[in-house]
Amino acid sequence: MKKALVLGATGGIGYSIVKELVSRDIEVIAFSRTEKKLTALFGDNEKVTIFSGDVFNRQALLDAAEDVDVIFHALNIPYADWEEKLSKVMGNILYVAEKQLAKVAIADNIYAYGRAEGVAKVTEETEKNPHTKKGKIRLKVEKQAKDSNVPVLIAHFPDFYGPNAESAILQYTLDAVVKGKKASFVGNQSVKREYIFTPDGAKAIVELASRDDAYGQNWNIPGADIISGHELVKILRGITGYNKKVGTVTKRMIQFIGIFNAQMREVVEMLYLTETPVVLSGEKYEREIGEIPRTSYKDGLHETISFMKNKEAVKTTV
C-alpha cells in the first residue's frame, strides 16, 4: 500500500488511521466535509493531502480516490440518517473503488451481532442475528459490500475512546471530567464492558489492509480487556485528580431526552450493550496476523485526556 484514502478522517477512528498510515510512510488523502477541521488536524503534515467534499457526490469521491490502493471507510453518520443514507454511502464507495481498482477496508461496529447472551467471546464465525433496527441495517450494508466486485475487509470494533473520538459514548464522561464539571457515565457502572483505544484499532485495520489475504473476510478486533465504569472512573481520578461524584445516565433518562432530541431517541435501542455487552474474540487475528495492539486503559486514557486538554488550551488562545 503506497497511497490511501481515509473517509471520515476527522472522526475518532479516521483520525487515528491517518496517523497510523503516516507513521508507515504511506501517502494519505484525508477526506471529510469540513476543510477547517481537516486543516486543524493535518494541515502541517506533508504526508497528508486534505480533501473536503461530500461522500454523496460520486465525482468528488472519484477525484479524491485517484491512484489510491486502499479506501478506508471510517465515516460516522448520525444514527437518525442510517436507514436513508448508510446504503447510499456504501454504494458510492464501492462504485468508486471498482472504478479506481482500489480495495476497501471498513471500520465497523458490533451491532450486527445482536445480543450475545451466553456467549463468552464473539468470534467471526458467530451467527449474526441483530434484533435492533440499526443492527439489521449494518448487516444489510455488510452484505452489500461482500456482494460487490470489490476486495473488501470488515473490521469489527467495540466502543471507541481515544484522541479526537468526540462522538464516542465514553467521551460524554471524559469531556465533563476534563472541564471539571459534574460527570455522568452512560449505563450501569458495575457492568464490565469492552472499549478499544483508537490508535490500537487503527494499527490493526491498517495492518490488515496491507495484506492481500485479509480481504474477503471479517475480523474482530477486541480492546485491552473488559472493564467496569467504576474501574474507569477510578483510573480517571488518578490521572486528573477529579473528585466529584460521577452519576449514571439510565435508559429512562435517555428515553426522556429522546422526546426532544432525535439523535438521543436513536440511542435508546442500543443501550442493551451497556447491560449485556458483546465481547469480541481476537483469536483469529492473533493466529493469522499476529499480536493485537493493546494499550492499557491507564495509558490510553492518559493520552486521550492529554489530547483533550491540549485542544482546549488551543481554543482558549485562538
Per-domain residue ranges of the chain: 3-165+194-224+278-295
pLDDT at 238: 96
- Coil, strand or helix at 239: helix
Tell me the per-residue pLDDT of 161-202, one tens digit each, with 9 for 90 and over.
Answer: 999 998 888 998 999 999 999 999 998 999 999 999 999 999
Q: Which CATH superfamily is domain 3-165+194-224+278-295 in?
A: NAD(P)-binding Rossmann-like Domain (3.40.50.720)
* Grid cell for residue 52: 473536503
**What is the residue-averaged pLDDT of the chain?**
92
Nearest to 14 by CA among 74, 70, 77, 69: 74
Burial class (CB in 10 A: 0-12, 13-18, 19+), 192: middle
Q: Over 80: is that where the pLDDT of 267 sits?
A: no
Nearest to 96 by CA among 65, 55, 73: 65
Nearest to 219 by CA among 234, 238, 231, 203: 203
In angstroms, the CA 267 to CA 159 distance is 13
Core vs surface per residue 3-31: b (16+ CB within 10 A) or e: bbbbbbbbbbbbbbbbbbbbeeebbbbbb
Per-residue confidence band for 270, with pLDDT thresholds at 50, 70 and 90: confident
The continuous run of DSSP H or E covering 142 comes out as helix 133-146
pTM given for the model = 0.94
